[in-house]
Chain A
Amino acid sequence: MTNSEKNRLKDKAFQVFGIFCTFIGLVVLAIFLIDIVIEGIGRIDWDFLTSLPSRRAARAGILTAWAGTLWILVLSALIAFPLGIAAGIYLEEYAKKTKLSDFLEINIANLAGVPSIIYGLLGLELFVRFMHLGPVLLVGALTLSLLILPIVIVTTREAIKAVPRTIRDGSFALGASKWQTVWNQVLPASFGGILTGVILALSRAVGEAAPLIVIGALAYVPFVPKTPMDEFTVLPIQIFNWTSRPQAAFLTNAAAAIIVLLLITFLLNGIAVYLRHRQQKKIKW
């Protein structure tokens, strides 16, 4: 066997191995999805989406849970979006390379790896106990915003980094200030990437139950929250609650609620993919 044949063989071997690895993830996901859909799809109807929680599995619905999830989603976006983008712009465009900025950078990277329940404890002490806000929607959204902030900052920086140096130089050459350059050139060019990052971060937040249970989000809420200062529940908590019940009918409910939660996540990811795609088409340097 010649050397090049050997290499080609290795190449082929890795390709097969790569396909195998890819399929492990996909097959597990597919089995999970099929199982959930078979179990739960028949349970989803208008009543299920518009009913309050109940002890009778057949009568129970997820109105308050999905309403809470939607509230959390919108509020977290409104909080994390400006904070994360501003921090990202500062670190990438303004911050000088000092010990302080190195320190900030390392810590933001570390924060992205902190388990979500720790954020729950932080939210409990800071927002619920110290600021006396109580276990309300706003506190849930603030806590989840903290959770996703590192991701938003990191993706913002990556998106901004991808804007070529020449664009900035051109703007400066025309006499624009740093802020004008950021606002008129850098941000528009990187906005698709930033938005993608924010949406993917939000789709992570939507699936969180642990930090919200810690801050005191509830399991039984018989009313739809009307203001950010109302108490709430979310879909993952409802699912968690149903899966631990003894009656099999509640497991069917849980499967149906999982489908709804997955649809929300897929919808968000779909929006993210669309935005990135549109952005890529639009920018021509």
Chain B
Amino acid sequence: MLNLSFSRFKLSAAILVGASLAFTSCGGNTQEGGSDMSGSISIDGSSTVYPVTEAVAEEYRAEAPDVKVTVGVSGTGGGMKKFSRGEIDIVNASRSINDSEAKTAKENGISYVQLSVAYDGLTVVVHPSNDWAKDITVAELKKMWEPEAQGTITRWNQIRPEWPDKEIHLYGAGVESGTYDYFTEAIVGKSHSSRGDYTASEDDNVLVQGVSTDPLALGFFGYAYYEENKSKLKAIPVDNGAGPVLPSLETVKDGSYAPLSRALFLYVSSKAVVRPEVVDFINFYLENAGELAQEVGYIPLPDNVYNEQKQKFEQFATGAATAKQ
């Protein structure tokens, strides 16, 4: 009886393993496209940049089916850590590299190039029934988000006297996200510094849900989330001294929506750029980023900026190649 159950187990284990092997072999690649490149490219980092890179990687597969491009989402911080240790080739970043990350990279003999690939416009939103907040200045945003506001700024009329004497409920990005770093830098003036008594989430859909069901809410998140949920939200034009501006494709692209439009970056490692498939992939990326970024909800850079990025990358690649020889 004992032996029976053991051999049964072995059999079922064997079947499981067999089955898993069988299906692995049926994911065959279709050979098409013009490139005979091969190899693999590892990318990790920001979940904000992820949709753009995913879209590019998907399209690149048709171009070079033998290049395995993989993309992770361990966050800008997590990605940078791996990048500066030389564990990955490219990092998706929703902020610039910081000093300690740059130092680690240097210690490991890694230099890098920063390429902008798209814009995101952080959008300030309120509930659609909110009829008083028609525009907001950067100073007012600072007043409600700075660390000193904690516990003291709790009502709409404290921000602007003609606004109603009602509670204000704040919703914003969680402190681990690059979005939070960017917002605090742009509004409060110091990265990673804000009041703590607001509803925080790393998941923008949660923030959409919160603001769209709370008539006293004010929140901020990426433009794509506003764009997809326009019917449930109301965006507030932000006034940076030159009159209130609503985020849109045009205002973010031409820089008039300030200071809340930010660039999304790729960092390419000097150790990776000596491989032809990496150069090929980055060129493909910069070639197609505009169109694909817009498709996944971000805002493309102006064409001349993409051209600048290409030149910047080419110089970097040549430099790295010469250094190697």
Say whether A associates with B: yes
Partner of B205, one of A64, A71, A221, A244: A244
B46-71 Cβ-contact flags toward A at 8 Å (1 or 0): 01001101110110010000001111
Interface pick from B20-28, B243-251, B258-266, B314-322: B20-28
Interface secondary structure of B, over-half rule = helix
Residue numbers in B under 8 Å from A225 (CB-CB): 24
Does A243 lie within 8 Å of B203, measured CB to CB?
A: yes
Does A246 lie within 8 Å of B222, measured CB to CB?
A: yes
A219 to B205: give the CA distance in the assembly, Å.
19
B26-56 Cβ-contact flags toward A at 8 Å (1 or 0): 0101000000000000101001001101110
Does B74 lie within 8 Å of A67, measured CB to CB?
A: no
A63 at the interface (CB under 8 A from B): yes
Partner of A218, one of B1, B71, B296: B71
Partner of A195, one of B9, B20, B51, B54: B9
B82 at the interface (CB under 8 A from A): yes
B210 at the interface (CB under 8 A from A): no
Nearest CB to that of A71 among chain B residues? B20
Nearest CB to that of B47 among chain A residues? A244
Does A214 lie within 8 Å of B74, measured CB to CB?
A: yes
Does A63 lie within 8 Å of B27, measured CB to CB?
A: yes
Does B297 lie within 8 Å of A247, measured CB to CB?
A: yes
Closest Cβ of chain B to A145, distance in Å, is 15
B72 at the interface (CB under 8 A from A): yes
A213 at the interface (CB under 8 A from B): yes
A107 at the interface (CB under 8 A from B): no
Does A226 lie within 8 Å of B24, measured CB to CB?
A: yes
B168 at the interface (CB under 8 A from A): no
A7 at the interface (CB under 8 A from B): no
B11 at the interface (CB under 8 A from A): no
A64 to B54: give the CA distance in the assembly, Å.
14
B204 at the interface (CB under 8 A from A): yes
Does B44 lie within 8 Å of A216, measured CB to CB?
A: yes
Closest Cβ of chain B to A65, distance in Å, is 12
A84 at the interface (CB under 8 A from B): no
Contacting residues of chain A (211-259) with chain B, CB-CB under 8 angstroms? 213-214, 216-226, 231, 237, 241, 243-248, 251
Closest Cβ of chain A to B211, distance in Å, is 14
Does A74 lie within 8 Å of B27, measured CB to CB?
A: no
Interface pick from B102-110, B124-132, B135-143, B224-232: B224-232
A61-97 Cβ-contact flags toward B at 8 Å (1 or 0): 0011001001100100110000000000000000000
Residue numbers in A under 8 Å from B2 (CB-CB): 184, 187-188, 191
A175 to B278: give the CA distance in the assembly, Å.
69
Closest Cβ of chain A to B173, distance in Å, is 12
Does A224 lie within 8 Å of B24, measured CB to CB?
A: yes
List 16 A–B pairs whose Cβ atoms lie within 8 Å, in order of A's numbering.
A52-B58, A63-B27, A77-B13, A77-B16, A188-B1, A191-B6, A216-B87, A218-B72, A219-B73, A220-B72, A226-B25, A243-B203, A244-B204, A246-B204, A246-B228, A246-B229
Please report A residues at the B interface, Cβ cutoff 8 Å: 52-55, 63-64, 67, 70-71, 74, 77-78, 134-135, 184, 187-188, 191-192, 195, 213-214, 216-226, 231, 237, 241, 243-248, 251, 282
Please give 10 more A-B residue pairs, beta carbons under 8 A apart, in addition to A74-B17, A188-B1, A222-B69: A70-B19, A74-B20, A195-B9, A220-B54, A220-B58, A220-B70, A224-B24, A243-B205, A245-B51, A282-B1
Give 10 nearest A-B pairs by CB, closest first. A188-B2, A224-B27, A220-B71, A55-B55, A246-B228, A246-B224, A218-B72, A246-B225, A219-B73, A218-B70
